[in-house]
Structures are given as C-alpha cells and as structure tokens.
C-alpha cells in the first residue's frame, strides 16, 4: 500500500460516522410549543376532572334535596289525612246529634197532637217527616196543635243543624287539602326518583369519564395509569381538605357571631333595670351594674330567640369561648356553660337515651343506602336516625327537616354523643337535606348516598347547620 493510500484510510477511520445536525431556533420554538401544548392539555384535563367532581356532587345534592322534598310531602300528607279523618268524625257526630234532636222534636209534636194543645209549629215542617207523627193522618193538623213549649227544642235543632253543616264543610275542605297533599307527594316522589336516577347516571358516567381523562393524562405525562390515578386522588383529597378547612372556619365564625349576639341580648335586657336603680341612688348604681352579668341572665336570652337556635334550656354557650370547633365530647366546663350541672337526674336520663340511640345507630352499620328507606333492606339518613332513636323510646318523623324541629337545639361546639347534626343547602330548615348522629371526638354515623351504606366517618363542615339537635 502506498503512503498516500494509508493516510487516506486513517483519515476515514478517524472521521465520525455522521455529523450532528445543527439545532436551529425553529427547532427550539417547536419544542417549546409542543411543551406548552402538552401543559395546556394536562391543565384542561385536570380542569375537566375537577368539573366532573363538582357535577357529580351537584347531582347527589339535588337527589338528596328531592328525597327530602318527598319525605316532607309524605309528612304533610299524613297530617292532612289525620285532619280529614278527624274533621269527618266531628261532622258525623254533629249530624248524629242533629238527627237525635229531630227525633226528640217529632216525639214532642206527636204528644202535643194527642193532647190537643193549641199553637202553630209550621216552622217545624223542614225538620219533621210524616212518619215521625205515628198514625197522624194530617200533618198540618198536628202542627197547628203543637204548643210554644217546643220553641226551645226547635232552636236546638236549628243550632245543631248549623253546627253539622259547618263541620261537614270543614271536613270537605280537609279532604281537598288531603288530595292536594297526595298530589304533591306523588309529584315529589316522581321528582325524587328522577333525581336519584340522574345522580346514579352522573356517578356512573363520571367514573367512566374520569378513567378516560386519567389515561390521557398518563399518556401526556409519560407515566402509568396507576401512578396518575394515585396522583389525581391526592389532588382531589387536597382540594377537599382546602374546602373543608374554609367551611370549618366559616362555621366557627358564624358560631362566634351567634354566641356574641346571644350574650349581648341578656345584657341589654338587664340594662334598663340597672339604669332605673342608678337614677334612684348612687349606691344602688354599683349594685345594678354588677347584676347585668350575661352569665346570670343567659337563660332568658336563649328562651327568647325567635330562630330557635338557642332554645335549649339545658345547654348554654360558654362566655369564655367565642368560636365553634369540631363537635366534640366536652370534658371541662365553665360556670356559664355547665348544662350537665343544672340537673344530674335529667343529664343522666339524657345520656342514657343518647347511648341507646347510638347503639341503635351502630346496629345498622353496613345497611345499604336506599332513598326513603327505613328498614333492614335499606335506609336513608333520616330513616336511620328515626330507627336509632326508636331504640331509645323516642319517635321521630322520617324527615331530616322535621327532625331539626323535634328536640332542643345545641350550639355546634357543645354537641354531645347522640346529638343530631344537619346540613342545609341554604342555611335554613327548609333547605336541610341531610342528618347524621354525632358520636364524639369529631366522628359521626350516618346513611349517605356515598359510600352507599350506614358508616362511621369524620364530621365535615361544608353546609353544616350551626346548631345540633338533642331529641
């Protein structure tokens, strides 16, 4: 081999097989664009997941509200039915009294005829029949011979007839009310069924769509579906935790404001007598001022609350506590919030009743959730509570809205095991859609659409009512 050929071969050996292409600005821009597109796609998918959760929650809430509307309509139907039956019974009794008075009047007329008494009783004609005069062949002759001694009985018949007519009119109105209530219940039942079906459909669709979105996210992030699912579950838990923290803070603020308002009311109520004492003498002024302690007049303020929020005569709000926290079992009490110390007998009875109710609730653990259910085959929230308190000898209506008014209202921060917690869509009793039983230490037992059965879990504060109820 020549020297030139050898040098050429060595040059070929040392030269790279392929030279790298130069990276241009267009390449950089395209990469950035692709990255931004991927990020936007991921953000859009995650937003869709969040919206999906909100849509599912809204459907479940609508179903719960519709179910409560139905239960309320059933309660109103029961009331209307009872009223109609009572009114008809009263009307029947009034009619019977009228007929009895007519029979007595017939006897008097017959006796008058036989005795040949003078007088006219033409006004009795509408109340008597020919048969009531025995063998009398001429009713007009009998009437003309009837005397004035029958006037009082005639007036009695007329009065009884008026009462009977009025009672029958009332009964007819009650029947119409009952029919209207029945129609409303039927409509509410149809709406509840439709809402329940919509919620179930939304849940099924959400699960399918969520799986699809997570698969797309996994592809975008170049990861596995399992890892992406775990990540999205974590994001959802964090979102719920933020919302719950905000709801709890709002509940505490509302409770603090309510407590301050209640404590201000007794001070204002006692301020006038104290001022009157001060105008009488300087020495009495100091005595009147010290008597205006909110702690000494806390009870009157609660009994005068029109909202019923502080209607409890056995539980008052502590003047040393200005905020509400998670319902918990109180182990220490101040002089202004010692409901248990007011009556050891009533406290013991209340505790025993609560324990029996809690036992009745726990006996239902695992029973599946069924709209309007109240048996071992299935229960809803108020059905579970109704059955639980029946175990304690307390009979509640199968409606969370009705149950809110069937006991003593207790500030949320003073809730004890066995008390009932409520949730409302608008903060009012007509907006209540869920009820649960408090177990203490921030835990409750309830029947809920999710997780579809009776279970024990933590208290949540979103849309919770500021007062618990002690049946």
C-alpha 416, offset from chain centre: 19
pLDDT at 112 over 80: no
Q: What pLDDT score was predicted for residue 114?
A: 63
Cα dist from 460 to 67, 245, 316, whole Å: 21, 9, 23
> How many angstroms separate the CA atoms of 165 and 90, rounded?
11
Q: What pLDDT score was predicted for residue 470?
A: 96
> How many angstroms separate the CA atoms of 427 and 312, rounded?
19
DSSP3 helix / strand / coil % (the chain, rounded to 5): 65, 10, 25
Tell me the backbone φ, ψ of residue 239, rounded to 5 degrees.
-65, -45
Q: What pLDDT score was predicted for residue 327?
A: 39
Categorise residue 427: left if φ over 0, alpha if ψ from -120 to 50, beta otherwise.
left
Q: Which two tokens stand for residue 90?
A: 């009263």
- What confidence tens digit (pLDDT) does each residue in 150-167 have? 677 777 777 878 887 888
**Candidate from 5-19, 24-38, 170-184, 393-407 with smallest mean pLDDT:** 5-19
Helix (H, G, I), strand (E, B) or coil at 293: coil
Q: What pLDDT score was predicted for residue 452?
A: 82
pLDDT at 20 over 60: no
Q: Which residue has the higher pLDDT, 95 or 429?
A: 429
Distance in angstroms between the alpha carbons of the first and the last residue of the chain:
111
pLDDT at 468 over 80: yes
Domain range list for the chain: 34-221, 348-471
Q: What pLDDT score was predicted for residue 316?
A: 36
Q: Is the peptide bond before 451 cis (omega within 30 degrees of 0)?
A: yes
Nearest alpha carbon to residue 393 among 349, 344, 438, 347: 349
What is the number of other CB atoms lying within 10 angstroms of the CB of residue 401?
A: 22
In this prediction, what percent of the chain has a pLDDT beyond 70? 65
The pLDDT of 73-97, averaged and rounded, is 84
Burial 83-104 (b: 16+ CB within 10 A, else e): bbeebbebbeebbebbeebbee
Q: What pLDDT score was predicted for residue 330?
A: 36
User: Is residue 377 classed exposed, middle or buried when 0-12, 13-18 and 19+ CB atoms within 10 A define those classes?
Assistant: exposed
Q: Determine contact, residues 464/421, Cβ cutoff 8 Å.
A: yes
Beta strands in 158-261 (DSSP E): none
- What confidence tens digit (pLDDT) does each residue in 291-313 have? 333 233 333 333 333 333 333 33
Q: What pLDDT score was predicted for residue 219?
A: 84
- What confidence tens digit (pLDDT) does each residue in 204-225 have? 777 788 888 888 888 888 888 8
Q: Strand 454-458 vs strand 467-470: parallel, antiparallel, or unpaired?
A: unpaired
Mean pLDDT estimate for the chain: 73
**Candidate from 29-38, 60-69, 451-460 with smallest mean pLDDT:** 29-38
| CATH top-level class of 348-471 | alpha beta
pLDDT at 320 over 50: no
Cβ contacts of 16 within 8 Å, gap of 6 or more:
none
> How many angstroms separate the CA atoms of 358 and 445, rounded?
9
Q: What pLDDT score was predicted for residue 381?
A: 95
């Amino acid at each position: 081999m020549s020297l030139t050929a050898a040098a050429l071969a060595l040059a070929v050996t040392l030269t790279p097989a392929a030279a790298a292409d130069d990276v241009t600005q267009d390449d950089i821009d395209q990469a950035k664009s692709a990255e931004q597109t991927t990020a936007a796609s991921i953000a859009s998918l995650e937003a869709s997941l969040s919206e999906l959760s909100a849509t599912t929650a809204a459907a479940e809430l609508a179903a719960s509200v519709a179910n409560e509307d139905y239960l309320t309509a059933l309660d109103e139907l029961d009331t209307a039915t009872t009223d109609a039956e009572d009114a008809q019974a009263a009307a029947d009794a009034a009619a019977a009294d009228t007929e009895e008075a007519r029979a007595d009047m017939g006897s008097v007329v017959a006796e008058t005829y036989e005795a040949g008494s003078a007088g006219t009783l033409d006004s009795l004609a509408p109340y008597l029949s020919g048969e009531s005069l025995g063998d009398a062949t001429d009713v007009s002759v009998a009437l003309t011979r009837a005397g004035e001694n029958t006037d009082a009985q005639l007036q009695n018949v007329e009065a009884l007839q008026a009462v009977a007519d009025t009672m029958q009119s009332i009964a007819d109105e009650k029947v119409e009310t009952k029919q209207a209530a029945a129609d409303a219940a039927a409509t509410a039942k149809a709406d509840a069924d439709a809402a329940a079906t919509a919620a179930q459909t939304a849940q099924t669709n959400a699960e399918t769509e969520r799986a699809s979105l997570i698969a797309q996210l996994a592809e975008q992030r170049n990861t596995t579906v399992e890892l992406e699912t775990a990540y999205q579950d974590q994001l959802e838990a964090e979102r719920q935790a933020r919302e719950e923290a905000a709801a709890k803070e709002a509940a505490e603020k509302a409770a603090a404001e309510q407590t301050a308002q209640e404590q201000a009311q007794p001070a204002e109520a006692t301020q006038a007598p104290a001022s009157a004492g001060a105008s009488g003498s300087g020495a009495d002024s100091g005595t009147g001022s010290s008597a205006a302690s909110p702690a000494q007049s806390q009870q009157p303020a609660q009994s005068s609350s029109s909202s019923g929020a502080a209607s409890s005569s056995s539980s008052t709000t502590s003047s040393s506590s200005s905020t509400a926290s998670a319902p918990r079992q109180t182990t220490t009490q101040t002089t202004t919030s010692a409901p248990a110390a007011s009556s050891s007998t009533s406290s013991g009875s209340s505790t025993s009743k609560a324990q029996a109710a809690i036992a009745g609730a726990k006996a239902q653990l695992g029973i599946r959730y069924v709209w309007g259910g109240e048996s071992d085959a299935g229960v809803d929230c108020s059905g579970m509570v109704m059955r639980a308190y029946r175990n304690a000898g307390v009979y509640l209506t199968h409606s969370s809205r009705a149950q809110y008014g069937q006991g003593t209202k207790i500030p949320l921060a003073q809730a004890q095991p066995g008390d009932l917690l409520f949730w409302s869509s608008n903060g009012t009793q007509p907006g209540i859609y869920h009820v649960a039983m408090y177990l203490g230490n921030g835990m409750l037992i309830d029947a809920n659409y999710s997780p579809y059965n009776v279970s024990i879990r933590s208290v949540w504060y979103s849309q919770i009512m500021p007062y618990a109820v002690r049946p």
